[in-house]
Amino acid sequence: MTPVTKRTRAADGDVPRRPPDFEVLQEFAGAFAERLLPGLLDGVSRSTAEILETVRLEGEASRAAARADAREQSRKLVESVRDRQEEVFAPAPGIEVVEAFDAGDRLAQAELAVTYMAWRTLLCRPGAASIFVVERVTEQGKLSAEGSYVLISSAPFTRTHAGWTLVASISGVASPVHASPSEKGLRVPVYIPDLTADRDLTRLEIWDQEGRPRFVGVGQAFQTNNQARPRERGHLPERIKER
């Protein structure tokens, strides 16, 4: 199909066309060019340098920012990888449970073990004895329920070793007290701090040089009733007295 070219007429009211005055235009263009062209050329050359400088600076800034971002991303990535590595190489949960015990827990386990051994000894089970017989005495070694000294009257050992410690639990005293056994022999009274006349000895252990309980004391030193005795002597609570 042949394309159809449609001619249109100028609408009424159009400005009538006249031929341009080329001489005037040439004169104007010449004067304009003589006056503006050097400045224009100078401005173009100057702006090009500035643009180039600007582009260069912007490029460097962009590259610096990219390098900073890359370093930050890398740092984060390395840190996250390190976290995962630590997580991967963490010990098994079972080991963590065992190692989670603090010194108090380990002491409780050692005390349980030595208490069990002492219980076996008292029931005459076979094996080495884990008890020692202890008496509560005065400084002179005389038997007394109110004395502040203890005396080892019988033990499965003949002498105490260096570093051994007597650890005593006393009624009314929050934490156990420590005392050093005499180096002169077993039958020498040992002073127990805080063991006053109104208190009872509730437990006595011998710890070795590594702080592990080895022996448990039994016997007469624990058969006192000092803490409850004042009440028997009439030191009753007020409401009971009023009755």
Partner 1 sequence: MFRTLERLLYDPNLTNPPPPPPPANPGVFQIHPYQLSQWLEEAWTFTANVTLPHTAIHGQPYVGGQEIISTLQLPTQPDNPFLEFLRSGIHVGSVAWSPGFWNQPEPAPGEVTPPATLPLPWDHLIYAYMIESTGALEILSEVVRRYAVGETLETPSFATQGWLRSTEELFFREPPLFHIVGLTSRLRPDMSVARRNAYWRLIGMDLPHPAMGVSGQPWKQDTGVANLRFHELWLDLLRGVWTGYENATNFSGANPTDPNYIYEICRYLRDMLQMRRLGGNLARDEFVHVSTMSWFHLTLLSDTPVVVDLRSQGTDAADRLFKLGQRVGISPAPHARELFEMADLVSDFVRFVELGYFTPATVPTLYQNPTQLRTDVIRLIDLWEMATGDSIKADAVRLSGQTQPRAQHAPPARSLAVPSAPRPPHPARPPRVPAGAGHTNGSTP
As measured in angstroms, the least distance from the Cβ of 217 to partner 1 is 9
Using the rule CB under 8 A, which residue among 16, 225, 237, 241 binds partner 1?
225
Alpha-carbon distance of 52 to 58, in angstroms, equals 10
Nearer to partner 1, 26 or 109 (CB): 109
Q: Which is nearer to partner 1, 2 or 140 (CB)?
A: 140
Least spacing, CB of residue 73 vs partner 1, in Å: 34
* 111 in contact with partner 1 (CB under 8 A): yes
Q: What is each CA distance from 216 to 31, 113, 124, in whole angstroms?
A: 122, 11, 15
| 194 contacts 178 by C-beta, under 8 angstroms | no
Cβ closest to partner 1, residue 150 vs residue 218:
218
Structure tokens at 238: 């007020």
CA angle 8, 13, 17 (to 5 degrees): 75
By the 8 A CB rule, do 195 and 222 touch? no
Shortest distance in whole angstroms from residue 243 CB to partner 1: 22
Nearest partner of 203 among 215, 211, 212, judged by Cα: 215
- Give the CA radius of gyration of the chain: 51
Joined tokens for residue 211? 């702080």
220 binds partner 1 (CB under 8 A): yes
**From candidates 16, 94, 234, 237, binder to partner 1 by CB under 8 A:** 94
> Restricting to residues 22-51, which ones interact with partner 1 according to CB under 8 A?
none
Inter-residue contact 221 to 150 (CB < 8 Å): yes
Q: By C-beta, is 3 or 104 nearer to partner 1?
A: 104
214 near partner 1 (CB under 8 A)? no
Question: Please, is 44 exposed, middle or buried when counting C-beta atoms within 10 Å of its C-beta (0-12, 13-18, 19+)?
Answer: exposed
**Of positions 141, 182, 202, 212, contacts partner 1 by CB under 8 A:** 202
Kindly state whether residue 137 participates in binding partner 1, applying the rule CB under 8 A: no
Judged by phi (left if over 0) then psi (alpha if -120 to 50, else beta), residue 34 lies in: alpha
Q: Can you read off the two tokens belonging to residue 55?
A: 């582009």
Query: Does 207 participate in binding partner 1 (rule CB under 8 A)?
Result: no
Q: Could you tell me how many helices (H) and strands (E) the chain has, helices first?
A: 5, 7
Pick the piece of the chain touching partner 1 (CB under 8 A) from 5-13, 66-74, 77-85, 111-119: 111-119
Judged by CB under 8 A, the residue of 3, 13, 93, 234 near partner 1 is 93
In the bound state with partner 1, the residue whose beta carbon lies nearer, of 191 and 203, is 203
Contacts with partner 1, residue ranges (CB under 8 A)? 91-95, 97-98, 101, 104-105, 108-109, 111-113, 115-129, 131-133, 135, 143-146, 153-156, 169, 171, 202-203, 216, 218-220, 222-225, 229
